[in-house]
Structure 1
Amino acid sequence: MKLRIALIMLLLTVGKGISQELITYEIPRQYKYTIHNDDFTVLVRVPEGDWKDLYEYRVEVDMDTKSKASMVYFDFEGKVEIMVKKNNGSLDQVKIRPLAKNIVPDVKENTMLFSLDKPMKLSLEVNGDRLHNLHIFANAIDRNKPDLNDPNVIYFGPGAHQPGDLPGDVFNIPSGKTVYVDGGAIVKAKFLVDKAHDVKILGRGIVLQPERGVEIRHSKNVTVDGLIFINPKHYTIYGGESTDLTIKNIKSFSSEGWSDGIDLMSCSNVEIDDVFMRNSDDCIAIYGHRWDFYGDARNYNIKNSILWADIAHPTNIGIHGDAEHGGNIIENIKFSNIDILEHDEDDVVAEGCMAICVSDNNTARNISYTDIRIESIQEGRIFNFEVCFSEKYSAASGRKIENITMKNISYNGPYVNPSIIRGYNSERNVEGITIENLRINGELVTNPKEGNIKIGDFATKVIFKK
């Protein structure tokens, strides 16, 4: 099959010997006129090379408004230049986020120009409009493609793919298989890994409007890496009673009710690295027992990622568990180097960029947040650590929260609801919260008043450090 891939390769950049490579992908013809957004025209090239016109995908964001944003993607090595033209209306101001990347484009009339020398996931926003923005996913070139002649490789090549045994829209992936979705492929189905082991789901392609993106049930040693998920009806990654999971470099958009990003129930030994999650429910949620999944949740490493909660929490831990059998332990969880671009939640009992709200007799302990940069809170609070009972979700209150550390946390923005540290009663309490180098609008927080933090009943050993 002839791959409809545009490939440019320039070797030996003058004086440095650094290879330059750019790969762009054509959209399958079946979708060319149905999922395009004309808000922007986006071109990319290696320096002094020919400009390549990218396809601007339409992605729906924000459940409240069902807004139509834009998305482009490509792979590169070395350096690339990106030109973005705004096609409609005036261009008075432009911002590229995360702000920590420090990318300032050159703007002339309706055109913006900037360059990248490393892979990035970016949001380009004109005139402060975050609902009709442009998402740019500049991937590293995939140097680890599987052998497509291997009988254990399931290959989705350039073009459109949908299961032939409708209804269902499911591709079942058995043990020992590697799925590879080419960058020019669109798969309209979910991938189901059920009671399987040693499975990889890889590539640069798109999973479009599935029931769920990837569903992992009662399985072990599963990797999901590199794919783009556009508007699943439910979760993007749904994991239950599974271990040894790796989720890397995925990009996700959702705009439906219950369209969480990564939701894991009774899963352990999990790495989540370099993901971009823009969801209309929790971006990352970690629970104990729920539905037919049982067991504790242990050993998570969540890092180098961008979280954008149009609705609900960027991160959420602990509300579901096995209340009838004494609850679950949720422990040893690390968040590090995270950019939170938005948190918007109308329900004041369900707020918090960093939320640990344990119920169902659960215990949450040994959880750390390090180098967390919060750029915007539309409605919500910086954190909420609470042993609670939810009339909507709980069968019992939580049991305990202990040994939580926050280090190098920043929020720059207007007033938000107070952060909360609160136990349920004297036996179901919060104990041991260390807050080090929390800065709000650049000011170091050294006590609860400075940080707009409410320390409620049954919360002890709350320590502030410089």
Structure 2
Amino acid sequence: MTQSKLLLQRSVVVLLFSLSFLFMFNQSTPFGYAQEPEGAVVTAYPTPSDLPAKYKSSDFSITAGNTSVPVYVSGENAWGKKVSYATFDTTASTNVKITVNFPFDSFKLLPDSLGLAGTKNGNSVSFQISPSTDVTLLLDGDYNGRVLHLFSRAPETDMPSAQDSNVIYYPPGYHDLSAQGPVQITSGKTVYVSGGAIVRGRFLVQDAENVVIRGRGILLNDYTSGDGYDEVALALKRSKNIEIRDLIIARDKNAWTAFMWKCEEVKVLNYKAINARYASSDGFNIANSHDVLFDHVFIHTSDDSVAIKGTGDAGYNPAANPATAPPTYNITYQNSQLWSDSNNAIGIGAETLASSFDNITFKNIDILRNYDDLNYPDQLVERSAINICALNATTIQNITFEDIRVEKAKRLINITMEDDFWFGSLQGNWQWPGVIRNIHYKNIQSSSDGSNEIRIYGRDASHLIDNVTFENVQIGNEYVSTFNDSHFKVNAFARNLHLISPTYPDGLTADGPILPVGSIHNAAQQFSQEQGVNQWFYRTWQAGVGTRDMVWNPDNSEHWRGPKDWDAIWKSNGELFFHPDVTQILLDWVSPRAGQVDISGIVKKAVIDGGDGVTVSIWKNNQMIWPSNGQWQVIEYNDSQGYDTSCSTSLQKGDVISFRVDKRGTTSYDSTTWTPEITFVD
């Protein structure tokens, strides 16, 4: 840019700011500032005079207080209808009047959680809106039709200076950068798109840190460059400490709107994205990144509104081992509104080429609309409003969906493991271990007229969905209170499902009511590296010496070890193993309360190649309770079937149940498997 052109732009900025103060005292001025009777100051940024007409919406006219608000169009949705949007700043609650420039009979202001009723007078809709509120005008219940998204915001503060050498400053006006590559933003830079600025271009942050992209302007992208860079409006790659704030992205291409890859410490605040072009128009995807916050976001797309993915270390390759790819973790997405005309509103996957997905939370989200697909409605069962779809064998765990309100959707919840996606166009790979576990749905409310299906489909015995809790899931006016509910579709590879509702406040499992906390004590599941955890103690006994606590030995395949060469307790493949020496092995459990218990478990030889077998027994305090004849049970050296150790007894708090394994003549080949379980039945 020449020095004379730069001086001219700065002169324009000064002139616009000077005019804005004159506007404050002229309420008839169509754009600018207006003082409302109740004290609200409204700021509406003028439309650039050279903005092409195709970006301006003729479907709606808006006034906020006494100020006219420009209305733009992002493009067309999957059904060929224009999607309009507008924005203004206000210091306080403001009266808004929207005039609809085509016939309509009824309207609704979304989301329901705002509680906005509004009034209709002819072809106008009026209501009151507070700062920092996103509201959508839906007409005649037609989600496929022409809609308006309106964003009111509190006044902007701490604007950067156009004279700062570390600021890339876009003043009010139309800036067409489509003939060049993306604006590459380096470390320490701030990009400021001021109110009234519309930038037709792309932003790229790559191998950088301490970057801010902000402002009340609009990043516009409706073209394909073919220059070798990512065809997205905003890309973050291998970068750290990035903040995206207040930016509106209006995109009209069937490709991702924005994404981050291999990034950390990213904040996306008050971000608005509209890309309703069918399809693949994801709003802001998160891949192989961590420590990410999205807050007060609005997204309307014709694909995933948000997808948390793993696209690999060097790009998506289904043959790659997910364990070699960077993990995706510590992500919070909150206080936001999502609208997806295809695929999922909230999605984890489909690409899951990451070593793990961990600690991801969505909370206080309004899902305004979720449709599955324009061309294949009701045929793609793996799509839903709240979705986890894994294509690559990895660990997905500790995921929470809380306070989610679904207004319009085909299906409600889905967790699945698939071979491929979109008719084989995206392949998966399941040759490695993988699990989806510890998933919590809490306070999920659906008012949708869709199927509201809840589908939980694991893959096989090596790729399970484990430990999923549904807490206060409400469909219509009814809470889901039984797994016999017709909304559930669950296969044999989903286990440990829990349901909590007002009917069962203490919980329900797929097999019946959940027993009180602490009622089931499985020695393998509760195995610990510390003595006394979950009431279990790992000990030895020897004549003339007495009872000793074992010592944890992490350097010997993570065994509990006694004082001799071979005495040990360890866990492998979900079972406990015992090996005596001249010492007996004692697995002791101390009862935390009084009650009646059932004791179960199969004891058998683990190694049957030699030796002379072992003897086993169960004791309560100082009395043998199994076998009932008072004699230790002999397990022959080659007995791989063993014995059922089932028995019952009553306990007082502090009573000790002891599972004991002893040698016979020798200690050779004495490895024995035994996984006791103690269940309170009262």
Q: Is TM more than 0.5 here?
A: yes
Task: Answer yes or no: is 1:126 the counterpart of 2:139.
Answer: yes
State whether residues 359 and 399 of structure 1, in contact with CA within 8 Å, keep that contact through their aligned partners in structure 2. Answer: no
3-state SS, counterpart of residue 204 of structure 2: strand
Q: 2:108 aligns with which of 76, 79, 95?
A: 95
State whether residues 213 and 232 of structure 1, in contact with CA within 8 Å, keep that contact through their aligned partners in structure 2. Answer: no
Q: Deviations over 1:70-128 (max 9, x none)?
A: 21110111121111112222x42111000110111122222221112332111112222
Aligned pairs for 1:159-308 (under 5 A) are 159-163=173-177, 166-168=179-181, 170-210=182-222, 211-233=231-253, 234-254=255-275, 255-290=277-312, 292-293=314-315, 294-308=325-339
What's the counterpart of residue 342 of structure 2? 311
State whether residues 440 and 451 of structure 1, in contact with CA within 8 Å, keep that contact through their aligned partners in structure 2. Answer: no
Q: Distance in 1 between matches of 2:369 and 2:139?
A: 16
Q: Distance in 1 between matches of 2:442 and 2:451?
A: 20
3-state SS, counterpart of residue 113 of structure 2: helix
Instruction: Compute the displacement of 1:414 (Å).
Output: 2.2
State whether residues 273 and 283 of structure 2, in contact with CA within 8 Å, keep that contact through their aligned partners in structure 1. Answer: yes
State whether residues 289 and 328 of structure 1, in contact with CA within 8 Å, keep that contact through their aligned partners in structure 2. Answer: no
Instruction: Compute the displacement of 1:289 (Å).
Output: 3.1
Q: Distance in 1 between matches of 2:69 and 2:279?
A: 31
Task: Answer yes or no: is 1:375 the counterpart of 2:415.
Answer: no
What's the counterpart of residue 436 of structure 2? 401
Q: Deviations over 1:409-452 (max 9, x none)?
A: 01113241632112111111010001011000110101233360
Q: Deviations over 1:253-300 (max 9, x none)?
A: 111432111112111110011111100111111112347254110000
Q: Distance in 2 between matches of 1:415 and 1:212?
A: 32
* Greater CA drift, 401-410 or 72-81: 72-81
State whether residues 387 and 429 of structure 1, in contact with CA within 8 Å, keep that contact through their aligned partners in structure 2. Answer: no
Q: 2:459 aligns with which of 413, 416, 424?
A: 424
State whether residues 452 and 475 of structure 2, in contact with CA within 8 Å, keep that contact through their aligned partners in structure 1. Answer: no
Q: Distance in 2 between matches of 1:108 and 1:126?
A: 14
Q: Distance in 1 between matches of 2:488 and 2:266?
A: 35
Q: Distance in 2 between matches of 1:86 and 1:160?
A: 26
Task: Answer yes or no: is 1:60 the counterpart of 2:75.
Answer: yes
C-alpha spacing 1:24/1:445, structure 2 compared with 1 (3 Å): same
Q: Distance in 1 between matches of 2:57 and 2:499?
A: 48
3-state SS, counterpart of residue 34 of structure 1: helix
What's the counterpart of residue 37 of structure 1? 57
Q: Deviations over 1:180-204 (max 9, x none)?
A: 1011001111100011111000011
What's the counterpart of residue 16 of structure 2? 3
Instruction: Compute the displacement of 1:7 (Å).
Output: 4.0
* Greater CA drift, 422-431 or 233-242: 233-242
Q: Distance in 1 between matches of 2:147 and 2:310?
A: 36
State whether residues 279 and 342 of structure 2, in contact with CA within 8 Å, keep that contact through their aligned partners in structure 1. Answer: no
Q: 2:475 aligns with which of 436, 440, 443?
A: 440
Q: Deviations over 1:114-172 (max 9, x none)?
A: 112332111112222332012111111111322332211111000111338x343x111
* Greater CA drift, 284-293 or 272-281: 284-293
Instruction: Compute the displacement of 1:9 (Å).
Output: 5.9
Q: Distance in 2 between matches of 1:389 and 1:160?
A: 46
Task: Answer yes or no: is 1:364 the counterpart of 2:364.
Answer: no
3-state SS, counterpart of residue 288 of structure 1: strand
Identify unmatched segments of 5+ residues in structure 1.
14-18, 46-50
Instruction: Compute the displacement of 1:364 (Å).
Output: 0.6
What's the counterpart of residue 414 of structure 1? 449
State whether residues 130 and 152 of structure 2, in contact with CA within 8 Å, keep that contact through their aligned partners in structure 1. Answer: no
Q: Deviations over 1:383-427 (max 9, x none)?
A: 111233224423313711000001110111324163211211111
State whether residues 41 and 86 of structure 1, in contact with CA within 8 Å, keep that contact through their aligned partners in structure 2. Answer: yes
Aligned pairs for 1:139-158 (under 5 A) are 139-158=153-172
Identify unmatched segments of 5+ residues in structure 2.
1-11, 21-30, 223-230, 316-324, 502-682
Per chain length, whose mean CA-contact separation is higher, i.e. which structure has more relative contact order (CA < 8 Å, sep 6+)? 1
State whether residues 358 and 399 of structure 1, in contact with CA within 8 Å, keep that contact through their aligned partners in structure 2. Answer: no
State whether residues 166 and 190 of structure 2, in contact with CA within 8 Å, keep that contact through their aligned partners in structure 1. Answer: yes
Q: 1:388 aligns with which of 413, 418, 430?
A: 418
Q: Distance in 1 between matches of 2:62 and 2:486?
A: 42
* Greater CA drift, 31-40 or 120-129: 31-40
What's the counterpart of residue 48 of structure 1? none
Q: Distance in 1 between matches of 2:264 and 2:142?
A: 40
Instruction: Compute the displacement of 1:351 (Å).
Output: 0.7
C-alpha spacing 1:268/1:232, structure 2 compared with 1 (3 Å): farther
Q: 2:123 aligns with which of 110, 132, 137?
A: 110
State whether residues 44 and 70 of structure 2, in contact with CA within 8 Å, keep that contact through their aligned partners in structure 1. Answer: no
Q: What amino acid sits opposite 1:370 in the alignment?
A: E
What's the counterpart of residue 40 of structure 2? 20
3-state SS, counterpart of residue 105 of structure 2: coil
Instruction: Compute the displacement of 1:333 (Å).
Output: 0.3
What's the counterpart of residue 335 of structure 1? 362
State whether residues 387 and 424 of structure 1, in contact with CA within 8 Å, keep that contact through their aligned partners in structure 2. Answer: yes
Q: Deviations over 1:15-74 (max 9, x none)?
A: xxxx632111111111163322222221111xxxxx2222221222433x1311221110
TM-score (norm 1): 0.91
Q: Distance in 1 between matches of 2:43 and 2:457?
A: 51
Q: Distance in 2 between matches of 1:417 and 1:7?
A: 45
Q: State the superposition RMSD in angstroms.
A: 2.0
Q: What amino acid sits opposite 1:335 in the alignment?
A: F
Q: Distance in 1 between matches of 2:110 and 2:68?
A: 22
Q: What amino acid sits opposite 2:349 in the alignment?
A: G
TM-score (norm 2): 0.63
Q: Distance in 1 between matches of 2:232 and 2:326?
A: 23
Aligned residues between the structures: 446
State whether residues 10 and 21 of structure 1, in contact with CA within 8 Å, keep that contact through their aligned partners in structure 2. Answer: yes
* Larger Rg belongs to: 2
Q: Distance in 2 between matches of 1:119 and 1:223?
A: 18
Identity %: 28
